[in-house]
Structure 1
Amino acid sequence: MNLTSLIQALKQLDLRSCLISRQGKPIFEQYRDDRTPHEIAKINSCTKSVLSALIAIAMDQGLLPGPDTPAAEFFPQLAADPDSRKREITLRHLLTMSAGFNWTEFGGQNSFPKMTRSPHWINFVLEQPLADPPGTMMEYNSGISQMLSAILAQAAGMTVARYAELHLFGPLGIESYEWERDPQGIHTGGFGLRLRPEDMLKFGQLYLQQGEWNNNRLISRERIAESVEPAISSEPPRRGRYGWHWWTDTYPDSDGPPGTAAPLFDYFYARGFGGQYIYVVPSLETVVVLTDDKRKKRQFPGDVFRQFIAPVLARQMQES
């Protein structure tokens, strides 16, 4: 793969890191400085996709029931709520952020900042009214991720971080991390995890390998496939679709005029505020990690993956 043009383009963007692997082998590594490979840093909402993996593992182990289980089994407040529709919220609705809560993460209601300033995050989320029937609309909601983290801790009988050490981080060889907690000591489900770029790449590689690592199965193939399947359309202005705390998309756009060529490849990805990404492209056996730490005004305003990396991958696909 000719990466000369990519090297020059990314150098101008001054990213914190960019890593690309193909068939499990690194083919591109670019760091801002010599310290970056060894330093953990915030992955922000990429934490959600790590939580998704842990939920999938717990379902495989029988610690958690299936995705169509009512969330009220874990939160009796939902069953007691005057709005009977809250009883219909399932684990699947939580995973696909389609529970229907009246929530705007930032702007508008500023639901996320209000949650983090509240004394009890879970109660704050459960008390929000519904704006839509469960399962009908996707609304980005880190409070839902906190609910899932609380559910996992309850089912596993240990903290989410300890469960991750035993069943995900340990097997992947991830030894250096930090993870924030809410006021009740529950690890943050929607953000707050710090990892090294190389360990983010390992996590993406696990999904590329359909849940297998060093000849050991960490997540079942069936659960991996279901969790990254496009389940519901993203709410505008976000593009693509949403799975179980994973984003999905195609390159180039799949919604062109009738008769146009089919997409060159599908991909799914973890996405964190400020330029943190883990992309998985199954048809090309490729994983891409991007991290950044610059203030918003100094960051590249476009989509780095689609504008600079995807075209290189597409050319390689056409030439092979």
Structure 2
Amino acid sequence: MNLMTLTAVIAPLHLRSCLISLQGELKFEYYRNDSTATEIAKINSCTKSILSSLICIAMDQGLLPESSSKAAEFFPQLGRDTDKRKQEITIEHLLTLSAGFRWTEFGGQNSFPKMTRSPNWVKYVLEQPLAHDPGTHMEYNSGISQMLSAILVQASGISTAQFAEQFLFGPLGIEKYHWETDPQGIHTGGFGLQLRPNDLLKFGELFLHGGVWEKKQVISHKWVARSTAPVILAEPPRRGGYGWHWWTDSFPLTATDGGLPTAMDYYYARGYAGQYVYVLPEIEAVVVLTQDNKRGKNNPPVDVFREHIAPLLIQY
């Protein structure tokens, strides 16, 4: 990897941070200023992938049933709804954002802002009508993530943040964080978590190594593999697929000797305004990117990973 080239490319992009590890060794570390490395900052929807890992840990512990279990076991009102399809919504449908609720995160119905202005976020989500049969269509929906956080609280008997401290943050040595809550005190499942860049790198490394951290199995390999595998196509204009609150995609490689094109698969956590944790199992790499500069529709942010970092990684 030509680190001098990468530094020159990243400098004008005003990233907060860029960290790259290969085979467990930190190969590249960039911070906009000296304080960025130690300051916590919003990771926005990367929170969803953190929550997914907590759901997996709860399944490992037997606190939660298999992903095929019905969400109505935790929210009886789904079973009483006049739309009987709501009874068929499973935990996996929630994890893959394919429960079928009629929802527009921003714009149109503006569902997300309406939820955050409501007195009870989970109740607001549950009351939304279905636009699709469960499991047939992905619709980006942070309200569903709030349902999952509420499920974790029911199953564990403690808050989502307390569960994270005991079974994820603690093992990884993550000590500094902040996590927002809804009006009922349930920690936000789809956003609202603040972490340091290096702690995001630890999270990516945990998944790269099959749920093992410092020789301890934090998450079973079974759920690491299951949660990061594509289950459903991402909704346009987003590309790739979607797993259990993880995005999946591939990067094209040069043609093989036989002339057939090949690609390198990867999965990633993604948050608004440029927060990313990329995991590339084939080359044992983790990439963390954080930003805080917002750009309008007429000036979209550069896809730093695909345009600048991935081409260097595959040559390393």
TM range (shorter): over 0.9
Aligned residue pairs: how many? 311
Relative to structure 1, the CA distance from residue 173 to residue 92 in structure 2 (aligned partners, 3 Å threshold; closer, same or farther) is same
SS of 2:37's equivalent in the other structure is helix
TM-superposed deviation, 1:299: 7.3
Report the counterpart of residue 22 of structure 1 in structure 2: 22
Distance 2:301 2:149 in 1: 32
| Long gaps (5+) in structure 1 | none
Counterpart contact for 2:44–2:272, Cα < 8 Å:
yes
Q: Which moved more, 1:302-311 or 1:240-249?
A: 302-311
Q: How does 1:229-248 map to 2 (within 5 A)?
A: 229-248=229-248
RMSD: 1.4
Give a deviation string over 1:138-178, Cα, whole Å, max 9, x none: 00000000000000011000000000000000000000000
Aligned residue for 2:99? 99
Q: Match of 1:268? A: 267
Aligned partners of 1:121 and 1:182 also within 8 Å: yes
Aligned partner of residue 314 in structure 2, secondary structure: helix
Q: Is the 8 A contact 2:179 2:192 kept in 1?
A: yes
CA distance in 2 between partners of 1:139 and 1:176 (Å): 32
Aligned to 1:39: 39
> What's the TM-score once normalised by structure 1's chain length?
0.95
1:7 paired residue number: 7
Deviation at 1:315, TM superposition (A): 1.9
**Is 1:122 the equivalent of 2:122?**
yes
SS of 2:93's equivalent?
A: helix
> Conserved in 2, the CA contact under 8 Å of 1:18 and 1:29?
yes
Matches within 5 A, 1:1-320: 1-252=1-252, 260-263=260-263, 265-297=264-296, 301-316=301-316
CA displacement at 1:51 relative to structure 2: 0.1
Partners of 2:164 and 2:14 in 1: CA distance: 32
Shift of 1:260: 4.3
Partner amino acid, structure 2, of 1:92: E
Q: Say whether the 8 Å CA contact 2:253–2:261 is kept in structure 1.
A: no
Q: TM-score when scaled to structure 2?
A: 0.96
C-alpha displacement of 1:24: 1.2
Rounded to whole Å, the distance in 2 between the matches of 1:260 and 1:237 is 27
Distance, in Å, in 1 between the alignment partners of 2:252 and 2:130 is 35
Query: CA shift at 1:14, angstroms?
Result: 1.6
* Residues 300 and 10 of structure 1: CA distance in aligned 2, closer, same or farther (over 3 Å): farther
| Distance in 2 of aligned mates of 1:111 and 1:253 | 39
Matched residue type, 1:140: Y
Please give the secondary structure, in 1, of the residue aligned with 2:200: helix
Question: 8 Å contact 1:17–1:291 — kept in the other structure?
Answer: yes
SS at match of 1:315: coil
CA distance in 2, matches of 1:44, 1:301: 16
1:43 partner letter: I
User: Is the 8 Å Cα contact of residues 251 and 306 (structure 2) preserved in structure 1?
Assistant: yes
- Structure 2 distance, partners of 1:88, 1:32, is 48
Task: Report the 3-state secondary structure (helix = DSSP H, G, I; strand = E; otherwise coil) of the residue aligned with 2:237.
Answer: coil
Aligned partners of 1:13 and 1:300 also within 8 Å: no
Instruction: Give 1:15's aligned amino acid.
Output: L
Aligned to 1:18, what secondary structure does the other structure show? strand
Q: Partners in 1 of 2:22 and 2:208 — Cα distance?
A: 10
Identity of aligned residues (%): 65
Secondary structure of the residue aligned to 1:36 is: coil
Q: AA paired with 1:271?
A: R
Structure 2: distance between partners of 1:304 and 1:253: 17
